[in-house]
Amino acid sequence: MRKRKTYKEVLVIADIQFLITVALKAMLTSAGYRVFVAQSRETLEDLLQKKTVSLVITDHTNFFNGSTKELTALKRSHPETAVLVLTGSVSKSRLKELDGAGISNIAMKSDDRDEILRAVKAALKEKKHYSPELLDLLLKTDKQHTVESLLLTSSEIDLIQALSREVSLNEIAIKKKTTSAAVDRQLKKVFRKLGVTDQKQLIAVAVKSGLIDSIEYYI
């Protein structure tokens, strides 16, 4: 007899777009989450009061009328609940505004299934995560300000470029006259700064930002 799937995290989709909520609920349910939908603020608050909600997925542009203050208030009143903004469009200034308000998990409705699930998992683990499209938006700036805006040190840039050449962490450690553990800690710090979770995403961001020659990398 087949075991029944055990649902752990409870997610709430706070969005007023019908097709989005239906598709997203079906996708997240099939991934093993228990999912509820709130199409009004009253319903959202009721669910937050009655359920142990791990994550609220919302499009602040339609559900909160674009107000970052209400998102901040939501996080303040329910600190145990993570927030993932899943939006259809966002400007660089609004992205920075969201980040300044403490919203560090943002994905796009145009993202594919795997990317949205990565964003959900990152939010549940309280790890900062931006979709690749948003990272690209943040990186569209003058080259002389790119490194400063990302707060990357020259040593961190060297690390990224070495990884793009498929140099192992152990080889990098030997060259730097340090330990593999120290290099691994530095790599994780770079992940946090750029809001990525693996080397594949890191290299993609580096290519888009010009830190790596795209032709050289893909060849």
Model confidence pLDDT, tens digit, residues 143-176: 444 443 456 777 888 898 888 888 899 999 998 8
User: Is residue 46 domain-shared with residue 127, that is, in the same domain?
Assistant: yes
What percent of the chain has pLDDT above 90? 42
Q: Are 55 and 11 in contact (CB under 8 A)?
A: yes
Task: Supply the pLDDT for residue 139.
Answer: 66
pTM: 0.63
100, 151, 155, 198, 209 from 147: Cα distances, Å: 19, 6, 12, 20, 9
Domain carrying residue 195? 141-218
Residue 63 pLDDT exceeds 60: yes
What percent of the chain has pLDDT above 70? 85
Whichever domain contains 177, its CATH number is: 1.10.10.10
| Burial tier of 82 (Cβ tally within 10 Å: 0-12, 13-18, 19+) | buried
User: Is residue 119 domain-shared with residue 157, that is, in the same domain?
Assistant: no
Instruction: Tell me the average pLDDT across 183-189.
Output: 92
Of the residues 82, 117, 138, the one at which a domain ends: 138
User: Is residue 61 domain-shared with residue 98, that is, in the same domain?
Assistant: yes
Task: Supply the pLDDT for residue 213.
Answer: 55
**Measuring CA to CA, which residue among 124, 126, 128 is closest to residue 138?**
128
Residue 218 pLDDT exceeds 80: no
Q: Are 85 and 98 in contact (CB under 8 A)?
A: yes
Asked if residue 196 belongs to a domain, the reply is yes
Pairwise pLDDT comparison (214 vs 171), residue with the higher score: 171
Instruction: Tell me the average pLDDT across 79-106.
Output: 85
**Which strands sit side by side in the sheet containing 105-108, from one edge to the other?**
34-38, 10-14, 55-58, 82-87, 105-108, 129-130
Of the residues 138, 161, 195, the one at which a domain ends: 138
Q: Which of 11-15, 42-46, 93-97 has the lowest mean pLDDT?
A: 93-97
CA geometry: angle 149, 153, 154, nearest 5 deg: 120
Residue 113 pLDDT exceeds 80: yes
In whole numbers, what is the pLDDT of the chain averaged over residues?
Answer: 83
Q: Are 193 and 152 in contact (CB under 8 A)?
A: yes
pLDDT band per the 50, 70, 90 thresholds, residue 216:
very low
Of the residues 138, 167, 201, the one at which a domain ends: 138
- Between the ranges 96-105, 140-149, 208-217, where is the mean pLDDT highest? 96-105
pLDDT band per the 50, 70, 90 thresholds, residue 219:
very low
Query: What b/e string do you get for 172-182 counting C-beta neighbours within 10 Å, with b at 16 or more?
Result: bbeeeeeeeee
Q: Where are the alpha helices (DSSP H) in 5-59?
A: 18-30, 41-50
Task: Supply the pLDDT for residue 101.
Answer: 80
Strand 34-38 vs strand 10-14: parallel, antiparallel, or unpaired? Answer: parallel
Q: What is the DSSP letter of 178?
A: S
